[in-house]
Amino acid sequence: MRDGTAGVWRELAHPAFLRTTLPWRAAGYLLASGTAGLLLCAGLLVAATAAGVLAVLLVGLPLLAALALVGLPFAAWERWLLRTARLADPVPGGQHLVPGRPGLTAWLRLRYREQATWRELGFAVLAAFVLWPVDLVVVGCTLAVPGYLIAALPLLLADGDQVNVLKLWQVHSPWAAGALTVAGFAALALAGYPLTLAAVGRAALARNVLAPAGQELRIGELVSSRARLVDAFEAERRRIERDLHDGAQQRLVALAMALGLARLDAEPGSALAERLADAHREAGHVLAELRELINGIHPQVLTDHGLPDACTDAADRSPVPVEVGFELPGRLPPAVESAGYFAVSEALANIAKHSGAGSARVDGRHTGGLLVIEVSDDGRGGADPALGSGLTGLADRVSVLDGTLLLSSPPGGPTLLRMEIPCTPIGAAA
């Protein structure tokens, strides 16, 4: 159960505060955070010294760059402490974005650009050089002093002559030592209050430093919500395609067959036969239009066979001759395949309408964590997104998946459209 800041203050004000686990959680939190800060301080000093010495040989430069990331594991440790001690509201997770492409380079590039990385580094430096002495001093003063007082009588009985209390005065009387022991228990009980207050203040400071700012939190929520919307939109596309394919299309096929059978029963040349023939042709037209609609929503070939076969099917339906060449290691995420297919379809439609090309080519490959698709043609060139040729919508479709769209279309041609979408294959090639 997470108490949160409000719960901690209620527990602190309760008459039975000393019988709760809060003082022990506070002591454990300060001891753990102080010890971790001490170890971090020693590690940073050693690493910084080694990096400074090796920097002359350029070997220490990567080590210096790596020190900037030391806040990531230390902040994760601090967030775990906050959740375990329950002395403050938990720090929201998910502050670091997931790289759009696999590999160490993409991960490092994203981490060095994030505000959360530098905020966590600042907290790690603060804990390593400022906070840990305070944490350990508070624990030592609130626990060690009462501990010395409590040990006065046992130590005197063991020695039989005298005992030095806190190295300040000598006690020879068992009565005086017993009084100090009683006072030690009372001091230990009362020490729970300042100890807990110090721990709550330390936890609040850690939370305020590590918690993302409002704008940063909203950006993270927008990125997450956009990813959820892309998945939901793709799932809805598939549902609509499936319902039309299995429902309306099958009924139209049955209707067309029934009209065809009715034509066989009608008297040839009669008015009824002509009306049935017209209705039969109209049902065929509607069925063809519905199939085109289904294919425009989400083609079945894309679901069953993947992006290369779907792009080949789109090329076969293009009035301009198109060559298709794909080299993919396997199936890609459904949203990526859908975006790639519809981008290629839109590009081929633009070529047929505006380029005056005699031929076109579609090439696709997966390299460096990116799906790269290039659509080229030998048309007149001069494509301009500002002229409403559909390129703006195509760029929007790709950018939803953190992709990029590059266009080269000088007057006179040729035109090259390049799409890059970060993704990771999810299955072996068929």
pLDDT in tens, 163-195: 665 556 666 566 666 676 666 666 666 777 888
Flag whether pLDDT at 313 surpasses 70: yes
pTM of the model: 0.51
- Residue-averaged pLDDT of the chain: 77
Flag whether pLDDT at 150 surpasses 50: yes
What's the confidence (pLDDT) of residue 42? Answer: 92
pLDDT in tens, 258-308: 877 777 777 777 777 778 777 877 877 777 776 666 665 667 778 778 889
Looking at the DSSP assignment, which residues form a beta bridge with residue 170? 164
Does one domain contain both 44 and 190?
yes
* Cα–Cα nearest to 124, from 85, 80, 78, 88: 78
Position 170 in a domain:
yes
What's the confidence (pLDDT) of residue 243? Answer: 63
For the chain, what percent of residues have pLDDT higher than 90? 7
Does one domain contain both 273 and 308?
no
- Report in angstroms the alpha-carbon separations of 423 from 102, 235, 237, 340: 8, 18, 20, 11
What's the confidence (pLDDT) of residue 37? Answer: 92
Neighbours of 236 (CB within 10 A): 12
Cβ(332)–Cβ(428) below 8 Å = no
Position 346 in a domain:
yes
pLDDT in tens, 380-392: 887 776 665 566 7
SS (H, E, C) 130-173: HHHHHHHHHHHHHHHHHHHHHCHHHHHHHHCCCEEECCCEEECC
Domain span at residue 321 reads 302-422
- Ranked by mean pLDDT, the top range of 6-20, 225-239, 258-272 is 258-272
Band of pLDDT at residue 126, cut at 50, 70 and 90: very high
Band of pLDDT at residue 32, cut at 50, 70 and 90: very high
Find the range with the poorest average confidence among 83-97, 115-129, 286-300.
286-300
Distance (Å, whole) CA 195 – CA 175: 29
Does one domain contain both 282 and 328?
no
Cβ(343)–Cβ(398) below 8 Å = yes
Does one domain contain both 110 and 34?
yes
Backbone Cα Rg of the chain: 36
What's the confidence (pLDDT) of residue 2? Answer: 45
* Cα–Cα nearest to 249, from 296, 299, 283, 297: 283
Does one domain contain both 88 and 138?
yes
What CATH code is carried by the domain that includes residue 322? Answer: 3.30.565.10
Does one domain contain both 182 and 49?
yes
Flag whether pLDDT at 204 surpasses 50: yes
What's the confidence (pLDDT) of residue 36? Answer: 93
Cβ(111)–Cβ(72) below 8 Å = yes
Two tokens, residue 371: 């799906």
What's the confidence (pLDDT) of residue 13? Answer: 65
The residue among 247, 273, 297 that closes a domain is: 297
Helix (H, G, I), strand (E, B) or coil at 192: helix
Position 404 in a domain:
yes
In one letter, which amino acid is 227? A
Total structural domains within the chain: 3
Residue keyed to tokens 């971790």 = 36
The residue among 297, 313, 331 that closes a domain is: 297
Helix axes 174-210, 132-150, angle to 10 degrees: 160
Flag whether pLDDT at 153 surpasses 70: no
Neighbours of 7 (CB within 10 A): 15
Mean pLDDT value of segment 68-95: 81
Distance (Å, whole) CA 85 – CA 91: 13
Mean pLDDT value of segment 303-316: 86
Position 78 in a domain:
yes
Cβ(401)–Cβ(421) below 8 Å = yes
Element (H, E) at 25: helix 22-54
Does one domain contain both 137 and 256?
no
Band of pLDDT at residue 33, cut at 50, 70 and 90: very high
Position 49 in a domain:
yes
Does one domain contain both 285 and 343?
no
More confident residue, 388 or 363: 363
The residue among 270, 297, 324 that closes a domain is: 297
Position 222 in a domain:
no
Position 218 in a domain:
no
Mean pLDDT value of segment 394-401: 74
Distance (Å, whole) CA 272 – CA 128: 93
Neighbours of 387 (CB within 10 A): 11
Does one domain contain both 311 and 269?
no
* Cα–Cα nearest to 375, from 336, 410, 349: 349
pLDDT in tens, 16-31: 767 778 888 888 899 9
What's the confidence (pLDDT) of residue 59? Answer: 67
Position 221 in a domain:
no
Flag whether pLDDT at 151 surpasses 50: yes
Does one domain contain both 133 and 267?
no
Distance (Å, whole) CA 340 – CA 332: 10
pLDDT in tens, 54-80: 766 666 677 778 888 888 889 889 988
User: What b-and-e string marks burial along 331-342, b requiring 16 or more CB atoms within 10 Å of the CB?
Assistant: bbbbbbbbbbbb
More confident residue, 245 or 194: 194
The burial class, CB within 10 Å (0-12 / 13-18 / 19+), for 82 is buried
Does one domain contain both 392 and 249?
no
What's the confidence (pLDDT) of residue 428? Answer: 54
Does one domain contain both 197 and 254?
no
Alpha-helix runs per DSSP H in 60-114: 60-67, 71-85, 104-113
